[in-house]
Structure 1
Amino acid sequence: NNTLNGMDRIDPNLRDEMLVELFLDQMVSDFKRSKILERIGYSLKSKDKEAFLRLTEELKSVP
């Protein structure tokens, strides 16, 4: 909330651009996370421990 309150003083066009960028960054992170989770599920089904460990590490690096 403090971030959005402070954005009232920023040029409206710049503010909109920043909000769109934040939104897109979040969408990309969510997409990456969901794809990795799908692959983790597959690794569990196929009992691929190596892939599971690699993917869980990869998941930790997604912002």
Structure 2
Amino acid sequence: MEKNLFNSPQPEVNIMDSLFAEMVFDKALLDFRKKKIQKKIDQSLLDRNKREFLRLIKELKNIS
């Protein structure tokens, strides 16, 4: 007898699990964005680009 997976009952998604997964994803995305900005800040320092440095510092503060 074949098992039809399309008609089998699907487990309920726990709301708490969904919220937790969303929080983990948001945190990972925020950390990624911060690291990307920090690398750009480092480069602006190496380039002695004060305007870019100040802009990036402000951007980093806004997302922190």
TM-score > 0.5 by shorter chain: yes
TM-score by length of 1: 0.79
Root-mean-square deviation (CA, aligned residues, Å) is 1.1
Q: Give 5+ residue unaligned stretches, structure 2.
A: 1-12
More helix by share: 1
| Residues 1:60 and 2:61 aligned together | yes
Task: Work out the percentage of aligned pairs sharing the same amino acid.
Answer: 37
* Match of residue 18 from structure 2: 17
How many residues are paired up? 52
Q: Deviations over 1:12-61 (max 9, x none)?
A: 71010000000001001000000000000000000000000000000001
Larger Rg: 2
Runs of 4+ with deviation above 6 angstroms: none
